[in-house]
């Protein structure tokens, strides 16, 4: 499926075949594609937790207004963001880049984020949003549907 088809045909579905299981190869491919999403300074502020424990998924379903997809979907990822990821050894984001790029970009990270709480939050949320859209379109291109869920925290 090409990108245009994936965009036009994607749907957030509410019910899944609970007996279907992703293969390790499919899960790895989906995660690899998600990691290709761009992020500011390549920080990838997002963190994914693949929830496989059935009891935990049942508890999460209860917390998510009893939405069936929490327990029926083949994969369930909880997405979090690390707003302070930029502070944690920022050179690691550029370890595979040419030294010239490292020498320019790594010193920019601290001044870009330092003391800018709203920017830190916004960049983390943008990074997660871009990654999630990349992941969802990748899933569709692989022949799968999905359903993002937002937890209000109430």
- Fold classification of 3-141 is NADH Oxidase (3.40.109)
- pTM for the structure as a whole: 0.88
The pLDDT score that the predictor gives to residue 14 is 87
The H or E element that residue 124 is part of is helix 117-141
- What pLDDT does 33 receive? 96
What average pLDDT values come out for the chain (154 residues) when binned by 10 residues? 86 88 96 95 94 96 92 94 94 93 95 97 96 94 90 62
pLDDT of residue 1: 77
Tally Cβ neighbours within 10 Å of residue 69.
20
Task: Give me the pLDDT at residue 152, please.
Answer: 63
């Amino acid at each position: 499926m090409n990108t245009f088809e994936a965009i036009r045909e994607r749907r957030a579905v509410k019910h899944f075949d609970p007996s279907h299981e992703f293969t390790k190869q499919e899960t790895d491919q989906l995660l690899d594609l998600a990691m290709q999403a761009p992020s500011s300074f390549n920080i990838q502020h997002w963190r994914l937790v693949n929830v496989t424990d059935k009891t935990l998924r049942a508890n999460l379903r209860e917390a998510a207004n009893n939405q069936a997809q929490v327990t029926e979907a083949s994969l369930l990822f909880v997405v979090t963001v690390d707003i302070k990821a930029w502070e944690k050894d920022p050179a690691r984001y550029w370890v595979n880049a040419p030294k010239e790029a490292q020498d320019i970009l790594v010193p920019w990270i601290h001044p870009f984020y330092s003391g800018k709480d709203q920017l830190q939050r916004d960049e983390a949320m943008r990074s997660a949003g871009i990654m999630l859209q990349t992941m969802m379109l990748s899933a569709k291109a692989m022949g799968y549907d999905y359903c993002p869920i937002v937890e209000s925290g109430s």
